[in-house]
Every structure is written in structure tokens, then in C-alpha cells.
Chains A and B, each alone.
Chain A
Amino acid sequence: MLEINGLSASYGNVQVLWDVCLRVDEGEFVALVGANGAGKTTLLNAVSGVMKPGSGSVTFMGHRIDGSAPNAIVNLGLSHIPESRQVFTEMSVRENLEMGAYPSRAWKSRRETMKKVFGLFPRLEERAGQLARSLSGGEQQMLALGRGLMSLPKMCMIDEPSNGLAPLIVTEIFEILKSLHKEGITILLVEQNVRQTLAIADRAYVLENGHNALDGACCDLAESEHVRKAYLGH
């Protein structure tokens, strides 16, 4: 479904991604883990068109998307739920969700989609009229997830949804990711919370200093000496 080949990316003169390869098949739940500054967010940005990659190719459902504009990419059904939530703080919860349905094909059915999102996140429905600014961190993350679903994506790339949240809420968010996956949405999840991530994903990639370090089935990675030392702390 998503295929990244030999991708490099730089900020000005500073290169941060080197020849990165990554593949996600339809229906998979793939994780991308790595330390702070490894280049995970940069990779997602280069895929979703927020940033132009230097070289390499990105293919989504048979379309070459490297160099395309973000709006064209989300139109194809690839939704990027950005790091640190990025909700529109001065708009209401409902308006945030409407913005998620901006692509024409999603706009027409936005009311029905919103009902489904409210089914998934009842707390958003209770707060539909409130400004997003007034939501708690966990609620804002739910809003960011719900908003990302409003474009009726076939695949979601989700950047650190657990960041800064209490353990109980993290568990709740991971449960929701699982149920999204069950409903047929392909997922690429970026996380620092390696233990919980390896427990729910099918496969994972480890990124170190902008290079592919390891990849494989999550159960194998969780057993690997390197991953245990560097990411699981034992």
C-alpha cells in the first residue's frame, strides 16, 4: 500500500534521513520507533508532502506521491495525524472535525462520518461546541485522531499519540488504535512508547540517526538484544 524507497531528506544543509526504506501492506499495523531526533517525524512529513524529500521515491496505492502537495496526498486516502496534536485551538471541536473532512469526497458525507467518530470518542460529542483550546491533552489527542479519520482514509500515519499523556489515557488511545485497525484501516504508528507499541503492531521498523537500523515482526524485535537494551531498558 505504502512503499518508501531510498528516501533522503534535509533541513537546509543538514541531512537527517539517509536512504530510508519502509513498506506497509494493506491491512497491516506497522510501527516506526526510534530515539528523539532519529527522524521519524521528518519521515512522515516527507511522505505526506509537508516536506519535499531530497531523493528516493514514495508510492501510495500505485501513485508516486513524492513531491506531491499534501492536499493531493490526503485526497488519495492517506491521512497524516501530526505530532503534538495540532488541533485548531480557536475553532470548536465540531469545526475541527469538519476541517478533517475537507477533501470533496469526504465533505459530502461529513455528517455521517462525524456520527461514527462520535461513536468512537463519546467525549468529543459532549464537547462538540467547545473551543478545542479548552480540551485536556488526552481529549485533544482524541480530537486529532477523530479529525484524521474524517477524510475517510484508507491508511493513517499517526505521530506519537501517547506523548505527554497519563498512562491510563495512553492505554485508552492504544485500544482505539487497535479497533481502528480491526475496522480495516492500515496504520503506520510512530511511537516512543516501545513496549506497548510492539505489543499491538504486526511489524516494526527501528530508525537510528536517520538510518534504517532494524525491522521485522514485533515479536521477534521484542526479543532482540539490541531493542531490549536500547528501547526496553533491560
Chain B
Amino acid sequence: MIAFRDIFITGLLLGGIFALVSVGLTLQYGVARVLNVAHGEFIMVGAFMTFWLLGSANLNPLLSVAITGPVAFIMGFILHKTLFRRLMDTSPSLDIFEGKSLLASFGLLYVVQNLARIIWGSDVEGYNFLNSTVTAAQIPLNRLVALAFVVVLGGAFYFFLARTRLGKAIRASAQSPTTAELMGVDIRNVLAICFGLGLGLAAIAGSLLSTLFAIQTSIGLGYTVIAMVVVVMGGLGSITGAMIGGIILGLVSSTVTFFHPSLTMIAYYVIFIVLLLARPKGIMGK
């Protein structure tokens, strides 16, 4: 029983983190049309920034998201305003832009990863954070705290998209950028904001992951793959789908890892394929 509960709590936490990562990728792909293969690199950057802020300024890892998120947001905003905006303006069609931006994001992947390696090296790093267990239970305290944190963050982000003027503009732009423009939305800004939000969510997820697992400058790509699986599973472009898909994959991950860690990646793909056979357009696809 206790094992089940632990699997469940860890699964929810991982799922929440996957959801943040995948919603971030959805904003970049579904709205800004950039299939950002460098997404996971910003998870790594977030994790290392948190690690570094803890070491140099003794900043609480959970509070560090107040720095890692905004810093990554600004990086994404500037990247879009310079690199991706230029590609968009010089592409005759959206399909050509998608191709070009995919290649550009591969470039970004190598640049970010190598810069990180220069700054932080390629060793496995880690730290202890609230590792005391909760009474009779075996769940380390950090998991519960991080879980509460993810729930609050996810809820706040959902509220932002559902209720605020900018959030609605983002959802409208995801459905039809041209019509959103006709409504008076400054699409150039909204796309850059979406790209920035995507990286911000990735970095926040990275900060949280660093409280749970050891980190290394090479961890990014694995998370990019997970996020892509979740995004397709949820239904391309669907934010709710990305949230649900992330949580499912998190639960699968913690369950399979408990029984047989080396099967985790295989389990992702089995779930992925089964879900797509049952619902070809994804959980929330139409």
C-alpha cells in the first residue's frame, strides 16, 4: 500500500513537471509554430541555474523559479524577436517556416548545450533538498513540497490562459493567428511571448527536477523527446491535452520505474502508440 501511494505521489509530481514542459512546447509549436528541439536544453539550464543559485547565494531551490523562469522567458522573447521573427518574415509559407525553424532550433540545441558544458562542465551534479521523510511514510518531504508547488503553478498558469486578456489572445492566436490579428491582437508580440513562456516553463520544470534528481548538462534531449510524445499524445496544439498527457506519462514513468527502471522509455512509447491507435488525433484532438 505504502509503495503504491509513493508511486502515485511521485507519478503525480513527475506528471505535473512533464505537464509544465509539454505545455511550454505546445505554446511554442501550437502557437508560435516552432518545433523547438532545444526545449529540453532550457530545462537543463533551469536546473543548473537553480543548482548554481543554491551554491553561490544559498537560494532556496523552489524560490529560485522566480529567477529561472523570468530569465528563460526573456531569453525566449529575445530569441523569437530576433531569430525566429526573421525566419518567419523571409518564409513564403508557414510550412517553409516550420522547416527552417526546426533547423534553427537544432542549432540552438548545440549552442546552448555546449555553452552549458563550458560553464558547468559535464559531470553529474546534485544536492540535497528537504530529504527528511514524512513520519512513517517513506515519501521524502521534497516530493510533497514540490508537488504542492507544481499544482499551484499549473493552476496559476491555467488561470492566466483561461481568464486574462493576454491568455485569451494566446488561445485565440493558437486557433487562428489571422483572425486574432483582425481582433486587434499584435501577433508579433504574442508569438514572442508564447515562445518566451515556453522556455520559462521549461526552466521552471528544470528547477523543480533538480530538487529530485541528479543533473547533468546532457539531460535536455531526453526531456525534449518526452515533451514531444506528450504533445502528440495530448493532441497537437491542445494545452489541456498536454496537461493530461503529461500527468499520464508521469504516472506511467513512476510505476514502471518502480518495477523495472530500464523499461521506462519503452513504456512511454507503448502508451504513446496505444493511445494514438485508440485516438489518432490525441486525447483532446478533434
Contact = CB atoms under 8 A, between A and B. Distances in A.
Interface of A: 12, 48-50, 69-71, 74-75, 79-80, 82, 86, 88-91, 95, 98-100, 102-103, 106-107, 147, 151
Interface residues of B, number: 19
Interface of B: 92, 165, 168-169, 171-172, 175-176, 178-188
A80 B182 contact: yes
B183 A89 contact: no
Given A50-B181, A86-B178, A86-B179, 7 more contacts: A70-B184, A80-B182, A82-B179, A88-B175, A91-B172, A99-B180, A151-B184
Centre residue among B178, B181, B186 by max chain A CB count within 10 A: B181
Contacts, number: 63
Contact of B182 (A12, A50, A91, A106): A50
Nearest to B169: A102
Shortest beta-carbon contacts, A-B, top 9: A103-B184, A70-B181, A102-B184, A74-B184, A86-B179, A102-B183, A71-B184, A99-B183, A71-B186
A70 B184 CA distance: 7
Given A12-B92, A98-B168, A102-B165, A90 B183 contact: no
- Determine the main DSSP class of B at the interface with A: helix
A99 B169 contact: yes
Nearest to A107: B165
Contacts of B92: 12
B181 A88 contact: no
Given A99-B169, A102-B169, A74 B183 contact: yes
A98 B179 CA distance: 13
Contacts of A74: 182-184
B171 A70 contact: no
A147 B186 CA distance: 17
Contacts of A99: 168-169, 172, 180, 183, 185
A12 B96 CA distance: 14
A49 to B, nearest CB: 8
A74 B168 CA distance: 18
Contacts of A80: 182
